[in-house]
Amino acid sequence: MIRSLVVTGPTASGKTHLAVELSRRFDGEIVSADSRQVYRGLDIGTGKDLEEYGSGANAVPYHLIDIVEPNEEFHLFRYLDVARKALQDIVARGRLPVVTGGSVLYVKALLDGYDQDGGAPNAELRAELEKQSLEVLVEILRKEASSALFRRTDMTQKRRVIRSIELARFGETVKPVPLIDDSLVIAPFFSRKVVHARIEKRLDERLAQGMLEEVRRLHDQGMSWERMDWLGLEYRFAAKALTGELTIPQMRNMLLAHIRQFCKRQDGWFRKLERDGRRIYWIRDGDLEEASALVVRWLAGEPLPDPKIHLNDIRYDG
């Protein structure tokens, strides 16, 4: 049986800090649920913040960070395979797995299993489709996909369109098998205004730390600008600045707007998890003592109170 604490939430909400502190208190080890922190060399742009984990006797062990090269194919099916091994290893040693990350698909797959039409990614098809422009791919999808699949595809991202073409062409089904049998899901909560301010502060810190230099180094080491587009917003927009498509101020402002939009989409995903019956304990300001009190009760097998905050009860103006 796998029991695991899960610390999730939107970007820039302090998930890692809270997860690490809870790991220190409850003899835990971090299992990352971040789809980009698996890549070596993507440090500043993905916000690995490895100093959070400490060093020496005070270090908190972590798993599923820096496990593949940036040019390797990494997808949900591979993630679940390595996550299963990490969770089983931690539990076998009598420690508490603490899953943390904001990749909602990864978190949901750990908790509920993953029922996915189309099976694992098809490398040969992807290589063929990658040669096409985004406009051509959208037209292929329009012809081959159901109206429902076409409507729910993000047409601004080439990799999303390619995946939807895979789904349209292959009808295999992977049956859901949850990896975690018993969980407590905790998430730091801040108002949207505060989260937006935290996003801006974090972005400016990353730029000051050398995010552009990190992207330039990756390119000098052989990563194509096209590959950057697959690695997330920070790498996509940094590439646009380094290739002269955008000035650095333009890049910074456009990236900030897109990260805030991504945060809004994450809010929608978490609302859906709640509507689907997933109990999430939103902890105001990521308060460590409030979170710890819940963990103590959960580990003791005591009944937990109803969450104080429900995202679906909160409405924002924009």
Provide CB contacts within 8 A for 58, sequence distance 6+: 24
Whether residue 146 lies inside any domain: the answer is yes
pLDDT tops 90 at residue 174: no
The more confidently predicted of residues 81 and 157 is: 81
**Do 139 and 233 belong to one domain?**
no
Top pLDDT among 75 and 245 is at 245
C-alpha to C-alpha distances, 50 to 16, 44, 46, nearest whole angstrom: 10, 10, 11
Query: What's the farthest any 2 CA atoms get from each other in the chain?
Result: 58
Our count of domains for the chain comes to 2
Is 15 inside a domain boundary?
yes
Please indicate, yes or no, whether residues 152 and 125 belong to a single structural domain of this protein. yes
Do 121 and 80 belong to one domain?
A: no
Q: Virtual CA dihedral for 263, 264, 270, 274, nearest 10 degrees?
A: 160
Q: What is the mean pLDDT of residues 17-38?
A: 97
d(CA 31, CA 179): 13
Q: Has residue 142 got a pLDDT over 90?
A: no
Residues 192 and 235 in one domain: yes
159 C-beta neighbours (distance < 10 Å), count:
15
Same domain for 185 and 87, yes or no, is yes
Q: Tell me: do 28 and 87 sit in the same domain.
A: yes
Find out whether 145 and 153 touch, Cβ atoms under 8 Å. yes
* Sequence-separated (6 or more) residues with CB below 8 Å from residue 210: 44
Q: Are 228 and 251 within one domain? A: yes
The verdict on residue 318 lying in a domain is: no
Q: Are residues 21 and 92 in the same domain?
A: yes
Note whether 154 and 129 are same-domain residues.
yes
Same domain, 105 and 238: yes
Q: Residue 186: what are its φ and ψ, rounded to 5°?
A: -120, 145
Contact in structure between 41 and 73 (CB atoms under 8 Å): no
Q: Which of 49, 17, 70 is nearest to 205 (CA)?
A: 49
pLDDT above 50: residue 172: no
pLDDT over 90 (residue 127): no
Clarify whether residues 109 and 135 are in a common domain.
no
**What is the residue range of 127's domain?**
116-174
Mean pLDDT of the region 212-224: 96
Burial of 282 (0-12, 13-18, 19+ CB in 10 A): buried
- Is residue 86, in this structure, part of any structural domain at all? yes
